[in-house]
Amino acid sequence: MPLLLGDIVPDFTADTTTGPVSFHDWIGDDWAFFFSHPADFTPVCTTEMGRTSQLSAEFDKRGVKPIGLSTDSVDEHLKWIDDVNDTQNTTLRFPIVADPDLQIARLYDMIHPAQSETAAVRSVFIIDNNKKLRLTMTYPMSVGRNFDEILRAVDALQAGDRHRIATPADWRPGDEVIIPPSIDDAAAKGLFPQGWTTHRPYLRTTRVQD
């Protein structure tokens, strides 16, 4: 069955570059950014691993743990990390899952046969502290991920959880947010005492403070 938004993500145990991991236990009370790569020692993947490492403080302040995967061994991953650190001017500390038998890649539908029968596409899974899938993105092998968008999407999800709001197109923290139509005006008065602007009966905007 496909993995759908709101589903509890599949648990797994695996060897990683930081030791064995039981996925749900590893997530704990945090969020996870689980992302796959076609192979070690490939150019786009090297830049993505480096960028994730460079953004470690940004992930930390959001309570998000990065964890990568490619269909290579731990030994290959560890050799590759040296290259990532050298070429991307970073020190990579997050775990990279070894999946040489494709078991986890298939469990998470990371293998798209029109792209490759043996290498994972560039999948993104944002998973919350309840182990629920909150967002997915899939990039082809030739296109590197937009990490600004990944962080922005995490901010939007977490703001929605905190404030019961939705976010408009191109939203950034501090911008106006949307009061969902499911919240009527009477309930909105309690949730948003700062007030709101009604553009249409279905479109009300306000600002929230974190």
Contact 122, 140 (CB under 8 A): yes
Let me know if 45 is a catalytic residue. Answer: yes
- From the candidates 9, 45, 110, 179, which is the catalytic residue? 45
Secondary structure E strands in 38-151: 64-70, 96-98, 122-127, 133-139
Contact 169, 178 (CB under 8 A): no
Least Cα distance to 95 among 17, 31, 36, 32 occurs for 17
Contact 204, 179 (CB under 8 A): yes
The helix or strand, by DSSP H or E, that contains position 161, with its residue range, turns out to be: helix 147-163
Residue 17 CA to its chain's centroid (Å): 19
Least Cα distance to 175 among 189, 192, 159 occurs for 159
Residues labelled as active-site residues: 45
